[in-house]
A = this chain, B = another copy of it.
Amino acid sequence: MAEMDTKALRNVSYGLYIVTSGDASRRNGQIANTSFQVTSQPATVAVSINKQNLTHEIIEQCQAFGVSVLEESTPMPFIGLFGFKSGRDLDKFASVQADTGATGCPLVIDHAIAVFEAKVVAKLDAGSHTVFLGELVSCRVLKKAEPLTYAKYHQNKGKEPKTAPTYSPPEAAAAEKQGAAPVKKYVCSVCGWAYDPAKGDPDGGIAPGTPFEQIPASWVCPVCGAGKADFALQ
């Protein structure tokens, strides 16, 4: 029996992108880690998109897609907006700076170091996903900065507790070690981020030491923008 330790796949390197599509009547964008150049003559690029996503539906309709290469310093809530929310529920572009490309696709400019767009010329049905191959239509450098890599994104989450969906507060871990009951915490049901009362959410106006119950109802999850009502005690 051949060994099948899929952790091996975690060593594959990726960037982090917003893949977009749309026209005058509808538009959407989503976080994707798979975008790559395939050929140089002519220049073609590919993206891999889950068939269940709205962006997939719109690419099929418009036969074009845009790609924004995110900068290393992209804030987690921005990634949360495009990665943890569905365009079926909200217009992701409402609070975001975007251009309209030559194909009619929206192109996200905020936190992008480069944008390009392509006209679909072929596609590969891969079961749950489609790999769309596109011929480059436009291509633009926006600023000089390091691109965000998937590895760096995971690393940031590890270092920045408030952005970590899988974060376990040190207090809870220590208590568990000592045989005490684990500390219950409020967890975002959209993205999995756990609120730590000791740290609060200073960027969101919540002082360290604030119990979850005392947070105003207008407060939103700093990772994905979900509302306070989307949090549950775990």
**Could you tell me which A residues sit within 8 Å of B by CB distance?**
2-9, 11-15, 34-46, 48, 69, 101-102, 113-116, 122-129, 131, 133, 136-141, 147, 149-150
Contacts and interface: CB of A to CB of B under 8 A. Distances in A.
Nearest to A141: B8
A13 B15 contact: yes
13 contacts: A3-B140, A9-B43, A9-B45, A11-B114, A12-B15, A12-B35, A12-B36, A12-B69, A13-B149, A36-B36, A38-B131, A39-B129, A40-B128
A48 B21 CA distance: 24
Contacts of A136: 4, 6
A37 B126 CA distance: 11
A8 B124 contact: no
User: By CB atoms of chain B within 10 A, which of A13, A40, A45, A115 has the most?
Assistant: A13
Contacts of A36: 12, 14, 34, 36, 48
Given A12-B36, A14-B36, A141-B7, A124 B133 contact: yes
Interface residue SS majority, chain A:
strand
A102 to B, nearest CB: 4
User: By CB atoms of chain B within 10 A, which of A4, A11, A41 has the most?
Assistant: A11
Nearest to A103: B2
A8 B127 contact: no
Nearest to A140: B3
Contacts of A39: 126-129
A126 B8 contact: no
A66 B151 CA distance: 23
